[in-house]
Chain A
Amino acid sequence: MKNTFIGSPVERREDLRFLRGRGQYVDDLAPEGLLYAVILRSSVAHGRIVSVDTKAALKIPGVHAVITANDMPGGPPIIPMRLQPLPEFKPFEQPVIASTKVRYVGEPLAVVLAKSVAIGEDALEAIEVEIESLPAVADWHVAAKNKNILFESQGTNRSLVFEARKGDADVIFASAPYVRREKMRTGRHYGLTLEPRGVMAEWDAARGRLTVSGAAKVPFFNRRILAKQINLPEDSIDMVENDVGGGYGARGEFYPEDFLIPFAARHVNRPVKWIEDRRENLMAMNHARETEAELEVACASDGTLLAIRGEIHTDMGAYMRTNGAVGARNVAQFLSGPYRVPHIKIDSSLWMTNKTPVGTYRGPGRFESSFYIERMLDMIAGDLGIDRVELRRRNLVTAAEQPYSIATIQPTNATDQYDSGDYRATLDRVLKEINWPEVSKLQGKLIGEKYHGLGVACFVEGGAAGPKETARLELNDDGTVSVFLGTSSVGQGVETVFAQIAADALEWPMERIRHVHHGSTSYVSDGYGAYHSRSTVMGGSAVLEATNHFQAAIREAGAKRLKCEAAAVKIDPDNVSGPDGQSFPLKELAGLTAEGAFLNKKHTYSYGAHAVHVTVDPKIGRIEIIDYVLVQDVGRAVNPLTLRGQMIGSLVQGLGGAVLEHLQYDEDGQFLTASLADYLLPTASDFPNLRCVILEDYPSPINPLSVKGAGEGGIVAAGGAIANAVANALQSFGVEPRQLPLTPTYIWELVQAGRQKQAAE
């Protein structure tokens, strides 16, 4: 039997349980004796803590304890960085609870443990906090003045400058025939998870064991941090992954609560649960994306890109969190996108401000940089009188140039190269899908109250390398097999995908893959997690490895029993047989288990193109999407159905960031968007007309499955594509959007400015 589950649109195994209401999220857990944790968060953006008085709160019936920094002998532990843990960042890392200073609205000050969340919230109002306010550093411009400093001992608000370097940009600029200079920015948004975060901890005092539910993304790494902070051996802690309602890079990183709740459980020797509410989700989970760039692009007169140079500034918020540096690095490293740019010199500064700290959000740095480069390409095309599609085609990296090296990043000396692909093919395909020759006749036309416009943008999506992933297969009594993984699920459908991979490799029916267990630290010896579009590539390849070892183990066991060479043993779904027809039922080997691992230092790069047709109402600034096509070559699509979900989902998130979502603060660092009435998330009716096309023309050469990470392609180029379409629609006003989100006010202002300029001329 030869299976073809890989490549088939197999329905998600997970769905049956979810649709029947049998999903189990961390909030569904309620062991006996449970206490509910509620967190008091700073309402002041920047200040010195004078006192936190919990006496009155403790008197409220139903309040069991209130924990503050004073309960932590030796002071609150610091959360170490996971990615780019440079010594320069050390002083800026976040303590698990504020003890001397608060640096953002939302920073934890105390944890109330109570009989119910409602009583806990009553108690919050009874805690008396005295904070001596300091002037707030509300954005990077203020930070750069270095007048008010978040970390006084550092003498500066800048934690680092990443440098992206390739060739010698200064020399090129000195003699370039054409240079365009622009200042642009992207708004602050975040990976809003429909299920907010949650942690439940249980302390078994007799056995000295801690069980932490609600783990996600990187449970093994987080266990390492927690073990150190709480002074327990790693193997005394179990991190348990439950069903997870969305990750997007933000969930599953180590946050203050990931220490506070286990600490509280041990402190009071009772199970303790904390479920983030939506307000907290908006102000406590990692923010992302807020950057400003001042860039120059040099071109030959035929539009050939020669060099990029400039500065990018990221508004980091108050602390360097676990993966906080990734966006600021990526925005510099991937500024050239899928384009051939021989000379690059970008300085990317990380500025500490009195806002919620940043971390990665799906397509970190790439969404921002794609907006910058794609906007500039359209402006350059206009200046040079070259068709913007042609300009892109000319500058896209060709298949012959692969593997293609991009800028090197300092101080980490990180190099990277794209693995394979014909980028022009996806551009050509997207134009064909949207019927470009026909719809392009509408460009800039006013029909009724609305102008029509088209936008196009190309992208690469990096994925999948880094720490080893491990998988283990175990034969069950009934002859089915269970798959155990260290990687985790954040709702992306990995149970289905891993079952497909295992069933194909074993040449067994899907039903024989009974369970796919993932994400908890007790399943395999080591693991890493779900981030950077890596689960399928790394975990999937590990499953493949494990199936090889599993089959070898069966052959070996079979050889012993059948008294023949292992190589001569045949395995079918039911029986193990030898060369002379002797055989025994496979299930007699129940308990047999084998592990496999996959390690890879190189990244995969899937790639593609977006094309969009919009209308813009110039008087009210409303954008409507008439048609949107996303084409992505993913090397190999294990499951086109779940992949399509990833593509459309990430595209909607990208459009949310491009048009609606914006985390706002005032100049005192007060957070203005603490509910979903203020932070506008796209809903099902906002972007109905989205299509996607999956290509598999260039398999990845660097993993046995030939797959490439593919969860971010929709988000990366959405800002650039839509902004280009708006510029194209409003060309008669000379509109060039230079910031996201494209709010009605901003579009209206651009149109007004255009009208005024025309009137003056």
Chain B
Amino acid sequence: MKLPQFEYACPTTLHDAVALLAARAGDAKALAGGQSLMPMMAFRIAQPALLVDLRKLPGLREIKVSGDGVRLGAMVRWRDIEDDARLASAHPLLKAAIAHVAHYQIRNRGTVGGSLAHADPAAELPGIALTCEAEIAVMGKGGARTIKATDFFLGALTTALEADEIITELRLPPWPQERAKSRRWGFQEFARRRGDFAMAGVAAFYDLDNSNKAMNTHIGVIGIGDRPHRLPAVEAMLNGRAIDDASIERVAAATSAAVEPQDDIHASAAYRRALVGTLVERALTSAAA
């Protein structure tokens, strides 16, 4: 389990980094925290000829909080999110979800850009990006562009990123501050050990209208299927309804019916189906509490 041979570059500008990637036409990879890429290389699942280390690129480590929402630079680490006191109100759902990512050592290294680009179906951040309708800013040899999270995750470990593109930022839409009380949210996941990738996870939020009915409901799941996804039919069931035990129970059952999990060594498909229902139930219950 030793790394195959590769070349290494540590550019100091985004432009150079993109040029290095572009020159290898797919045989180079960006290196961020290395927490996913290194194991893949050690198992020789990935054998890039060149690693382009992003650690010296300027401007990618910032967390910006403004009226436009929360912007996470691609090199922001899990630890930075955990330590940023502003996020408790600026994006409580993000903060709650990231608390479940991996272990101490990995949290000190793993990054926003790496997690998005790696696109593990059970990873928390892609789930949050998708559920919150975030945008992903990238830079390539053709210039900058933004990709909607909905268009970004194409399958297990597969994204819309081109081989020469580098993620620069994740842009989460604003979390309502003035209506803080009317925004309800919950995050639930289950992993067999703390810090493991989740067997399934659920992120949910909705806003209460004047008559205490739900609107703008967003429910996203991770760990089920080949990428994070929303549950539009389930969301529709809640919009315009009061959230109470009865509606939650109905929605939980509908969730189980809506997802298409598969068997793997950690759990059966039937179990996962039931698990997602339970997690939706618990996420909504904690949101409503």
Contact = CB atoms under 8 A, between A and B. Distances in A.
Interface stretch (A50-58, A315-323, A617-625): A617-625
Given A118-B2, A744-B271, A622 B190 contact: yes
Contacts of B190: 620, 622, 744
Contact of B199 (A279, A449, A744, A752): A744
Given A619-B274, A743-B267, A680 B4 contact: no
Given A449-B282, A686-B194, A744-B190, 15 more contacts: A118-B4, A122-B4, A122-B5, A125-B44, A660-B192, A677-B196, A680-B192, A680-B196, A682-B193, A743-B192, A744-B271, A744-B275, A745-B267, A745-B268, A752-B274
A277 B1 contact: yes
B5 A621 contact: no
Contacts of A557: none
A744 B278 contact: no
Nearest to A684: B194
26 contacts: A117-B2, A118-B3, A121-B2, A122-B5, A277-B1, A278-B1, A279-B1, A279-B43, A449-B282, A619-B274, A619-B275, A620-B275, A621-B271, A622-B190, A677-B196, A680-B193, A682-B193, A683-B195, A686-B194, A743-B267, A744-B271, A745-B268, A745-B271, A749-B268, A749-B271, A752-B274
B265 interface: yes
Contacts of B193: 660, 680, 682-683, 685-686
Contacts of A278: 1
A interface secondary structure, majority: loop
A177 to B, nearest CB: 40
A374 B190 CA distance: 30
Interface string B1-35: 11111000000000000000000000000000000
Nearest to B267: A745
A87 B218 CA distance: 68
Given A745-B271, A749-B271, A620 B278 contact: yes
A130 interface: no
A665 to B, nearest CB: 10
A505 to B, nearest CB: 46
A672 interface: yes
B8 to A, nearest CB: 14
Nearest to B252: A619
A583 interface: no
A675 to B, nearest CB: 8
Contacts, number: 67
Interface in A621-677: 621-622, 660, 662, 664, 672-673, 675, 677
Contacts of B278: 619-620
B214 to A, nearest CB: 23
A216 B174 CA distance: 61
A118 B5 CA distance: 8
A118 B6 CA distance: 12
Nearest to B2: A118
Contacts of A664: 265
B267 A744 contact: yes
Interface of B: 1-5, 43-44, 190, 192-197, 199, 265-268, 270-271, 274-275, 278, 282
Interface in A337-369: none
Contacts of B43: 279, 675
Interface in A744-761: 744-745, 748-749, 752
Nearest to B274: A748
A678 interface: yes
Contacts of B44: 121, 125
A749 to B, nearest CB: 7
Contacts of A680: 192-193, 196
User: Which has the most chain B C-beta neighbours within 10 Å: A117, A121, A619, A680?
Assistant: A619
A744 B192 contact: yes
Nearest to B194: A685
A672 B274 contact: no
Interface in A102-154: 116-118, 121-122, 125
A672 B265 contact: yes
A85 B192 CA distance: 41
B174 to A, nearest CB: 33
Contacts of A745: 267-268, 271
A414 to B, nearest CB: 38
A685 to B, nearest CB: 5
A188 to B, nearest CB: 12
A749 B265 CA distance: 15
Contacts of A675: 43
Contact of B265 (A619, A673, A685): A673
A660 B199 CA distance: 14
A67 B133 CA distance: 57
Nearest to A449: B282
A680 B192 CA distance: 8
Sorted nearest first, the 3 A-B pairs with minimum C-beta distance are A118-B2, A745-B271, A619-B278
A737 to B, nearest CB: 15
A683 B105 CA distance: 14
Nearest to B279: A620
A118 B4 CA distance: 7
A673 B264 CA distance: 11
Nearest to B285: A449
B74 to A, nearest CB: 25
A183 B256 CA distance: 32
Contacts of A752: 274
Nearest to B275: A620
Contacts of A122: 4-5
B185 to A, nearest CB: 20
Contact of A748 (B194, B197, B266, B271): B271
Nearest to A679: B265
Contacts of A744: 190, 192, 199, 267, 271, 275
Contacts of B274: 619, 748, 752
Contacts of A121: 1-2, 4, 44
A242 to B, nearest CB: 22
Contacts of A622: 190
Nearest to A673: B265
A279 B193 CA distance: 20
A528 to B, nearest CB: 34
A39 to B, nearest CB: 12
A92 to B, nearest CB: 29
